[in-house]
């Protein structure tokens, strides 16, 4: 707060204001009211006030259409309207920003829900137009998958009946150029010298963090090239949420960069043993650990599929050491068995099984029943009604990852 008062125009003050605006406790609103006028009249603060219904939302979106705070405001209000069945209001909110004002993943989300709103309002032809407009922006990912399901181009299927072979899940994706704009960096990459390319980049940057989404994307690719998936994939996730949409081919390439296949033989074997689609296992590991076999969470989950020791012991029939759970071959088999158990429990419904992997089957059971969306008929709406934000995002990311892992190598643009 002191920084904001002394240097209200500094990048640090603006960042602190944005973070404060995202806090949900009532005290945050009181602190926002104490900021200097220039910071109060900023997109993050005005968006937060609009979310609290203390400002008109339309004025915020019109004034700051390319600010992340406006994107978040639009989605939260539209999501709340959809959950109440107020599809006309949801449609109005979703139409308030043009897709070209949003990064591709957010444009895809907007177009999907515009289509769903149109369908609920009786305009099936309009719904299909929105979903087809979505596909070049998001050939992979959750909304690319759901749009194709809604268009009738793919069927909902049980992950216990995989259509792809386990061997196919082990293949690596083809090489892609780095396209950094630096001839020497691109040459090192082309010569399959990713470590040398990374060292050149790091030396030239002098330890400075990436500046802007383009550099974030480049550094993420360099890091994943040397095996630092934990940081690199995290950077790629951040980059695509800020980069403008590219052509269909560019979006396809970005989707492949976001979903590398690591430990392919271990996942193929685990899928074959449990009768699961290997792409779903890849999707879980991508979200759980970013393929970092030795990682442990703050609550004690371990390894590629982030198994709790108690869960691993129950699945295996005996206690498992930390070292065993850090072994990709052991972790993937036990994680696949646990996921298979969840799928069997929920009769092959992937939304319920994946949500249970994150929140537990008991929590998921409490989200079913009268007054709640039907996960078989309206799985997208059921997912948005999940009361845990982490589980909502997790379910969409895992299932979107699984769809992306199943895409062919060449774009169907």
- pLDDT (tens digit per residue) in 312-355: 999 999 999 999 999 999 999 999 999 999 999 999 999 999 99
Query: Which of the given ranges, 52-56, 246-250, 401-405, has the highest pLDDT on average?
Result: 401-405
- pLDDT (tens digit per residue) in 3-51: 555 556 677 888 888 888 888 888 888 888 888 888 889 999 999 999 9
Q: What is the mean pLDDT of the segment spanning 194-210?
A: 95
- pLDDT (tens digit per residue) in 273-320: 999 999 999 999 999 999 999 999 999 999 999 999 999 999 999 999
Identify the pLDDT of residue 167.
Answer: 44
Three-point CA angle 282, 321, 356, nearest 5°: 40
pLDDT band at 248 (very low <50, low <70, confident <90, very high): confident
Q: Check whether 390 has a pLDDT greater than 90.
A: yes
Annotated catalytic residue 288: yes
Query: Which of 219, 255, 288, 380 is flagged as catalytic?
Result: 288
Rounded Cα distance, 108 and 143, in Å: 6
Set out the domains of the chain in order of their start, with CATH numbers.
1-84 (no CATH), 173-258 (no CATH), 265-405 (1.10.530.10)
Identify the pLDDT of residue 411.
Answer: 67
Kindly report the pTM of this predicted structure.
Answer: 0.93
Identify the pLDDT of residue 246.
Answer: 87
Q: Check whether 185 has a pLDDT greater than 60.
A: yes
Q: Check whether 164 has a pLDDT greater than 60.
A: no
Q: What is the residue whose two structure tokens read 């589980």?
A: 391
Q: What is the mean pLDDT of the segment spanning 388-395?
A: 98
Write down the H helix ranges in 289-375: 309-316, 322-325, 328-345, 350-359, 361-366
Identify the pLDDT of residue 221.
Answer: 97
Identify the pLDDT of residue 162.
Answer: 64
Identify the pLDDT of residue 309.
Answer: 96
Q: Which residues pair with 300 in a beta bridge?
A: none
Asked if residue 335 lies in contact with residue 307, where contact means CB atoms within 8 angstroms, the answer is yes
Identify the pLDDT of residue 166.
Answer: 44
Identify the pLDDT of residue 165.
Answer: 47
Instruction: Please name which of 230, 254, 355 lies closest in space to residue 304, comparing C-alpha atoms.
Output: 230
Rounded Cα distance, 294 and 304, in Å: 8
207 CB neighbour count, 10 Å cutoff: 6
């Amino acid at each position: 707060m002191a920084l904001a008062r002394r240097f209200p125009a500094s990048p640090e003050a603006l960042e602190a204001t944005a973070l404060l605006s995202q806090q949900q406790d009532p005290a945050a609103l009181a602190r926002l009211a104490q900021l200097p006028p220039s910071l109060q009249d900023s997109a993050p603060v005005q968006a937060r006030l609009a979310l609290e219904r203390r400002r008109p939302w339309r004025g915020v979106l019109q004034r700051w259409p390319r600010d992340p705070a406006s994107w978040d405001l639009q989605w939260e209000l539209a999501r709340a309207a959809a959950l109440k069945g107020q599809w006309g209001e949801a449609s109005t909110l979703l139409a308030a920003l043009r897709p070209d004002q949003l990064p591709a993943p957010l444009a895809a989300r907007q177009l999907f829900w515009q289509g769903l709103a149109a369908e609920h309002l009786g305009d099936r032809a309009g719904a299909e137009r929105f979903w087809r407009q979505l596909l070049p922006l998001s050939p992979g990912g959750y909304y690319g998958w759901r749009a194709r399901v809604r268009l009738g181009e793919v069927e909902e299927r049980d992950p216990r009946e995989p259509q792809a072979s386990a061997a196919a899940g082990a293949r690596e994706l083809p090489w892609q150029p780095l396209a950094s704009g630096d001839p020497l960096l691109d040459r090192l990459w082309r010569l399959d010298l990713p470590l040398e390319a990374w060292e050149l980049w790091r030396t030239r940057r002098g330890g400075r963090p990436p500046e802007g989404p383009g550099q974030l994307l480049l550094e993420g690719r360099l890091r994943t090239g040397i095996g630092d998936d934990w940081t690199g994939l995290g950077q790629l996730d951040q980059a695509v949420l800020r980069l403008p949409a590219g052509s269909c081919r560019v979006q396809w390439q970005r989707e492949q960069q976001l979903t590398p296949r690591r430990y392919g033989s271990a996942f193929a074997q685990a899928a074959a043993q449990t009768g699961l689609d290997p792409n779903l296992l890849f999707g879980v590991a991508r979200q759980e650990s970013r393929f970092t076999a030795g990682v442990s969470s703050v609550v004690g989950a371990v390894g590629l599929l982030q198994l709790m020791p108690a869960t691993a012991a129950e699945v295996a029939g005996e206690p498992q050491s930390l070292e065993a759970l850090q072994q990709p071959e052991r972790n993937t088999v036990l994680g696949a068995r646990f996921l298979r158990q969840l799928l069997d429990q929920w009769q092959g419904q992937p939304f319920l099984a994946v949500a249970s992997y994150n929140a537990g089957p008991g929590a998921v059971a409490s989200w079913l029943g009268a007054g709640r969306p039907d996960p078989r008929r309206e799985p997208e709406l059921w997912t948005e009604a999940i009361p845990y934000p982490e589980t909502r995002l997790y379910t969409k990311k895992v299932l979107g990852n699984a769809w992306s892992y199943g895409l062919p190598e060449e774009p169907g643009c």
